[in-house]
Chains A and B, each alone.
Chain A
Amino acid sequence: MAFYFVQFLTGLASAASLFLVASGLSIIFGVTRIVNFAHGAFYMLGAYVAFTLTERFSGALGFWGGIVVAALIVAAVGVLVEMVLLRRIYHAPELFQLLATFGLTLMVQDIVVLIWGPDDLLGRRAPGFRGAVDFFGQNIPSYDLFLIALSPIVLGILWLLFQRTRWGVLVRAATQDRDMVAALGVNQKWLFTSVFALGVFLAALGGALQIPRDAVHHALDLRIIVEVFVVVVIGGLGSIIGAFVAAVLVSELNAFGILIFPKISIILVFLVMAVVLIVRPWGLFGKPEAAARRTPGLTVNPWRPLTSGERLMSIGALALAAMLPLFAGNYALTVGSEIAIFVIFAASLHFLMSVGGLASFGHAAYFGLGAYGVAFLAKAAGLPMIVSLLLGPLLGLLGAAVFGFFAVQLSGVYFAMLTLAFAQIIWSIAFQWVTVTGGDNGILGVWPDNWASSPASFYWLSLGIAALVATVLRVIVFSPFGFALRATRDSPLRSEAIGINGKRVRWTAFVIAGTTAGIGGALFAYLKGSVFPDSVGISLSVDALVMVLLGGVETVSGAVIGAIVFKAANIWLVSQTDLSKLVLGGFIVLMVVAFPKGIVGTLEALRNRRRSTDTKSALATSRVEVAE
């Protein structure tokens, strides 16, 4: 009994940091409507800065002062980020905001390694809380008791701040109607900045308070952000009480989940999240969103099928690509195969995002499932390559069918957070279930059969499948199903009113995209000859998002171009610099701010402008002719 009670207290203590970070995310979202992906990065920065300060200054004052000052320093960094970056993208679609803040996260990962090095850092114990309290023979660290007491205190302070101060009243008013607050003479800019500063302060404090419990390392950010997303999805975005209750719930589920499913404890959290989403899609304490903003939908150019000239050009480009083995070496062909595979992957996400309006932040899950599917079939069942290639993607289909069912209940940022959480669950399973997946060691020796084993034939295979996938997806876009999907994207209510079952249409689209991604993953397994948890990871999901964005979200098949350019640049970049995350993150931020239409979108806009000036000058000449 005492053991379970101690386990319960440990869960409560872990909830403290989770609550601090989640409440910060919720407060920022409430007012600015930005889901700050970089919140995990601020948490991690808080831990690193606190580590340095508490090492530098001794004594109790040095420790506690260091913790608070660290949170203040990181909050100041947050203010800088808000003023320089976020102010430019408050009116951008959610997808761009998520991506820009993710770009920041990437940059911070490389920056902390540059400053503090790649090794784990062990922080000081908290003065006054070094010992443990004995509870019926079980030890409870006294620092845990301190953390348990802290969260309700912070909750109380936040409550007073929001209910009893003018600032709090203004923030609550702005949460509901920003423009009206401005129309009453309140400078929104500073309101937003101060809210962002408070949110970042809470995240950094959460990180700083963890140093006596946990080692500081450069992967803390993604670990916490996924848990925080789960917390806010369960508790309801924008609700501080919700963040508190859900943080306790998730921490307890983790604490006891380890006892029940030692290998895959995260399953328990997932089950609870699924139940909450079915019963209350907007979370336990959240409010239903009035109307989600459209993710793309700024399209001025209506979509149309390719003209016959453009078709010829595409076939010509394909024929050119097929001639690569005539003059390129083996390395170039392997790179070519990889690019073709990523064209498949990016096209599948692009289909979901552009046509379905569903920006998935965990699309790698289905890519990875396809890869693992092939690996199981080829290694465990010993099936020939053709059969594995055909059946392997079915695992991606299955995963997309299950997770997609829950994900399409939501839209906008909730959808993005949920897909990310699902992908992370698949990743944990791949990583933790060593007996089946090989864990970190992966599954090795997935080699193609003889007929496809030479780099040239594998390249032709990948290229052929990529061309087929891109064509089929394009056909679907202009099929009745594609029209229905675009209708649910542009106006969920109106499309329901004309008899379209929106959720089923979106679910189908999710399954199509997941299966297609699985095809890419299946090829990828054969290309690399192995499968690792990385092919399910967040960074792969984000790579796909960047490819889509680079090609142009609002185009019909810009992702094809985006994937080719991004993958080629990425392979080159990794060979040139150790700071690829910093460069990639900076590139994402820059692209969102300066270049949101992507390559194909920009080209289309240029061509349209030229065409409209052409028609104008044509009109002018005809008028002159008439006048003469």
Chain B
Amino acid sequence: MKLQVADLNSFYGPAHILFDIALEVGEGEVVALLGRNGAGKSTTFRSIVGLVENRSGRIVFEGKDVSREPTHAIVRGGLGYVPEERRIFTDLTVEENLEVGRQPKRPNAPYWTREKLFTLFPNLGEMRNRPGGRMSGGEQQMLTIARTLMGNPSLVLLDEPSEGLSPKIVEQMVDAILAMKKEGVSIVVSEQNLHFARLISDRVYIIERGKICFGGTIAELDARPDVRDAHLSL
């Protein structure tokens, strides 16, 4: 098991946001976390990497409980995180953005170099010295993923990578995620869009109001139209 989350509860101030979240990700698996806006997807990711400090529960990554470690230590252990709002360093160039994400090679994870990433995301290779602030939304989204891959993670949390992108860029995103999977990176991707999840993931979890209310394969979800309609239809 690559990542195992159990009994995860999170709070923003006095507000209880996540309730006993449990999810598992196998080696090399792509898992989708589906849910509506505000269901708790981003908070789940932020809690796993320690950006939500007020949390309790077990977060076992590669056999080690990381729930008490600071964010940077969790990430250095090989758990990469791509935030939802992109959060490119706008004053830094593409290459400098990648430099911030660079970490040493890891034995159990694919090794990414700038050149390898520029083949995966050809657009970025053409604008190596452009400041992040002068890139389109799609290019910025590519850059955030590439930046996280520079840390050679063995698992990546991808928070709504298709949000606000044009259909053509979404296609590129699907290709990129499948390429990452082929390299052997395990991936958890949060999504509102079942169609997108269908294209990339092996299994799905559905989250609603801070609780996991379904877990299973796409086929199992298709067998339960009631669940799908109750939690995903807009």
Contacts and interface: CB of A to CB of B under 8 A. Distances in A.
Interface of A: 166, 169-170, 172-173, 175-177, 179-188
Given A172-B92, A173-B100, A176-B90, A185 B72 contact: yes
Contact of A185 (B76, B83, B92, B97): B76
Per CB-CB distance, the 7 closest pairs between chain A and chain B, nearest first, are: A185-B75, A185-B76, A182-B71, A173-B100, A173-B89, A184-B101, A180-B87
Given A184-B75, A184-B148, 5 more contacts: A169-B92, A172-B89, A185-B151, A186-B100, A187-B73
A35 to B, nearest CB: 21
B147 interface: yes
Given A169-B96, A170-B100, A172-B92, A180 B148 contact: no
B81 interface: yes
A181 B83 CA distance: 12
Contacts of A180: 83, 87, 89
B35 to A, nearest CB: 21
15 contacts: A166-B102, A169-B99, A169-B100, A176-B91, A176-B92, A180-B83, A182-B75, A183-B81, A184-B101, A184-B147, A184-B148, A185-B103, A186-B100, A187-B72, A188-B72
Interface in B43-59: 49, 51
Interface in B98-127: 99-103
With a 10 A CB-CB cut-off, give which of B71, B75, B100 has the most chain A CB atoms.
Answer: B100
Interface of B: 49, 51, 70-73, 75-76, 81, 83, 87, 89-92, 96-97, 99-103, 147-148, 151
Given A169-B99, A170-B100, A183 B71 contact: yes
Contacts of B148: 184
B155 to A, nearest CB: 13
Contacts, number: 59
The majority secondary structure among interface residues of chain A is helix
Nearest to A287: B91
B100 A183 contact: no
A26 to B, nearest CB: 15
Contacts of A181: 100
Contacts of A175: 91
A623 B150 CA distance: 59
Nearest to A168: B96
Contacts of B73: 187
B95 to A, nearest CB: 9
Contacts of A188: 72
Contacts of B151: 184-185
A83 to B, nearest CB: 16
Contacts of A176: 89-92
A177 B91 contact: no
A237 B92 CA distance: 19
A177 B49 CA distance: 16
A185 to B, nearest CB: 4
Contact of A184 (B70, B90, B91, B100): B100
A184 B92 CA distance: 15
Contacts of B76: 185
A170 B71 CA distance: 16
Contacts of A177: 87, 89
Contacts of A185: 72, 75-76, 101, 103, 151
A186 B104 CA distance: 12
Nearest to A190: B72
Contacts of B96: 169, 172-173
A177 B89 CA distance: 7
B102 to A, nearest CB: 8
Contacts of A187: 70, 72-73
B83 A183 contact: yes
Contacts of A182: 51, 70-72, 75
B70 to A, nearest CB: 8
A410 B51 CA distance: 31
Contacts of B90: 176
With a 10 A CB-CB cut-off, give which of B72, B76, B91, B103 has the most chain A CB atoms.
Answer: B72
A13 to B, nearest CB: 33
A166 B49 CA distance: 24
Contacts of B51: 179, 182-183
A557 to B, nearest CB: 27
A166 B99 CA distance: 7
Contacts of B72: 182-183, 185-188
B96 to A, nearest CB: 5
A188 B100 CA distance: 12
Nearest to B96: A169
Nearest to A165: B99
A172 to B, nearest CB: 6
A15 B90 CA distance: 32
Nearest to B74: A185
A136 B83 CA distance: 65
B89 to A, nearest CB: 5
Nearest to A176: B89
With a 10 A CB-CB cut-off, give which of B70, B71, B92, B151 has the most chain A CB atoms.
Answer: B71
Nearest to A170: B100
A185 B70 CA distance: 10
A611 B148 CA distance: 49
Nearest to A184: B101
Contacts of B83: 180, 183
With a 10 A CB-CB cut-off, give which of A170, A179, A182, A187 has the most chain B CB atoms.
Answer: A182
A185 B72 CA distance: 4
Contacts of B99: 166, 169
Given A169-B99, A169-B100, A170-B100, A183 B49 contact: yes
A173 B95 CA distance: 12
B198 to A, nearest CB: 28
A232 to B, nearest CB: 19
Contacts of A166: 99, 102
